[in-house]
Structure 1
């Protein structure tokens, strides 16, 4: 499946035992783009009963488990409906970052796309102690399920993501486990262009759902947008839409409870050989 170019291999947990496909070496072989299927990550979906409808087991390309992946969760929403695990009108997804509600959404002529409700974004820091380089103006941080550094720059298209990303991904300001790194710049039409260096992939990906959320939150925190709906343009050219609802409207607390809407599309189905 692909979520705006962020691609994943999915397994139906009713048919494939977890222990067969979730060993780190098996994950690395599956995600290998030359000797395997090829993807940014791997997911196993399991239907459950109780507080959730489906459990998402998500793994990075390097074999490590991750608490959350926004685009994988969009894809999981769409696939859970297709596999009969959950209803299109709404579902509860269990992730390492907590319970997420989601649905298929489309009205007034808009396409039907998966939409997910994030837990509140935490540890929002509008400025962190990382020196900008030429073309960078402000560096912030937020945890949108996983940690993200967000950098306001002149032109995201011109950023040396491969060169600058690894150094910032492990910078002490991003915490012990490091963070994804996102560069963002304004487009003439009011949308925002971003690019992401992803931990676990250790390289640039075509899109990052949690990165889009963290980026939208920092743009609001910096006062660069007052829009409730922030449109982020991925490297695949597809839009990710982030709707920011202030928590103050619910509880008097600061911060935001975001909703993310974007692509979740099956590219092909198949049967693997030996793992």
Structure 2
């Protein structure tokens, strides 16, 4: 199993060297061949410079530990799915849940289960979304979660047809494509992908690092994605020292043709493969455009079996459209807070027999 080496580079300029630790080689573009990942060629470029990490690296913020668990603070919940990413949502809760509660609710098989949880509140000019990964961390951006938050706003009658959402990474515009699909629009990534090679699991892996609200590492995979050891290799790359303490999301992508991309993602904060990752889809798309391997509109197949579409818009903006549904609403009961400790063999990481 080997990753595909980058070829056919478009000569876009690189990120500046980061001075990171670990075994890593950053490869600079040839002098004089400097272009960016481009959006629509008409109009003035607006880079995706998302300030929402509030000075913290990696777009993943501190635990909301100061809030406490607030175990009896909320009871009404919504369950949503965006191309396989599933989320719990609370609409204008009296108090936000603490990290222990979020982890308990998101635990699959024991409670409701979910890749994350978001809070949604009405605000002047749109809505405000606060997103938590399933591990209890606040994260600045989850694009599938943002599309689902827009769908919930439509479902609740807070907006009709389109809505502006304020996220930890900045403002995102969303529009309803139809009853089960939502599109979000945002600026082209501010910096082009940076090619780098890291050592993990006794092998060298070449990929592309970039920030799409949160950090991503994109590895081109030469053969079918069924051959990718996503959990094992994804976990090693996600925590590689080259990406610093925040770590990174890891995406394995393949381009069967210039208008199609296939992707599997190991998500930071979920610490597992997810069925879809919206910001990962944009990261993979940016790498494909950067290398000349992709063109718009780009049709993307995720592990969940859904298709997302990335298109180029005027004014240096991209659109990400696809499945986003409210699948259930109900009342949280005390049993949802069960959080048993893992058994000793799981805690020790013993291999399966």
Q: Which band: TM-score by shorter chain? A: 0.7 to 0.9
Aligned match for 1:194, one of 263, 275, 290: 263
1:150-196 residue CA offsets vs partner (Å, 9 max, x unmatched): 01011222100111011111223334311110001123695211100
**TM-score, normalised by the number of residues in structure 2:** 0.68
Q: Aligned residue for 2:333?
A: 273
Structure 2 gaps, min length 5: 1-79, 338-353
d(CA) in 1 for partners of 2:165 and 2:146? 8
SS for the counterpart of 1:79 is helix
Q: Aligned residue for 2:291?
A: 222
**2:176 maps to 1:104:** yes
Report the Cα offset of residue 36 of structure 1.
Answer: 1.3
**2:184 maps to 1:184:** no
Count of residue correspondences: 255
d(CA) in 1 for partners of 2:153 and 2:263? 28
**2:118 maps to 1:43:** yes
Report the Cα offset of residue 132 of structure 1.
Answer: 8.4
Distance change >3 Å, CA 18–CA 260, structure 1 → 2 = farther
| Correspondences of 1:1-275 after superposition (within 5 Å) | 1-13=80-92, 16-19=93-96, 21=97, 23-49=98-124, 52-88=125-161, 90-105=162-177, 113-131=181-199, 138-154=206-222, 155-187=224-256, 190-225=259-294, 227-245=295-313, 250=315, 257-274=317-334, 275=337
Distance change >3 Å, CA 112–CA 73, structure 1 → 2 = same
Q: Aligned residue for 2:61?
A: none
1:196-233 residue CA offsets vs partner (Å, 9 max, x unmatched): 000000000000000001100110001112x2211110
Contact 1:46 1:55 in 2 (8 A): yes
Contact 2:200 2:236 in 1 (8 A): no
Contact 1:114 1:262 in 2 (8 A): yes
SS for the counterpart of 2:198 is coil
d(CA) in 2 for partners of 1:237 and 1:32? 23
- Bigger Cα displacement from structure 2, 130-139 vs 59-68: 130-139
d(CA) in 2 for partners of 1:152 and 1:82? 38
d(CA) in 2 for partners of 1:238 and 1:135? 32
d(CA) in 1 for partners of 2:180 and 2:99? 35
d(CA) in 1 for partners of 2:145 and 2:192? 23
Structure with the larger RCO, 1 or 2 (CA within 8 Å, 6+ apart): 2
d(CA) in 2 for partners of 1:170 and 1:85? 40
Report the Cα offset of residue 123 of structure 1.
Answer: 3.3
Distance change >3 Å, CA 137–CA 169, structure 1 → 2 = closer
Q: Which has the larger radius of gyration?
A: 2
d(CA) in 1 for partners of 2:183 and 2:332? 30
Contact 1:4 1:263 in 2 (8 A): yes
Contact 2:258 2:293 in 1 (8 A): no
Distance change >3 Å, CA 119–CA 53, structure 1 → 2 = same
d(CA) in 1 for partners of 2:203 and 2:307? 24
d(CA) in 2 for partners of 1:153 and 1:189? 15
- Bigger Cα displacement from structure 2, 171-180 vs 150-159: 171-180
Report the Cα offset of residue 137 of structure 1.
Answer: 7.8
SS for the counterpart of 2:195 is coil
d(CA) in 1 for partners of 2:138 and 2:247? 14
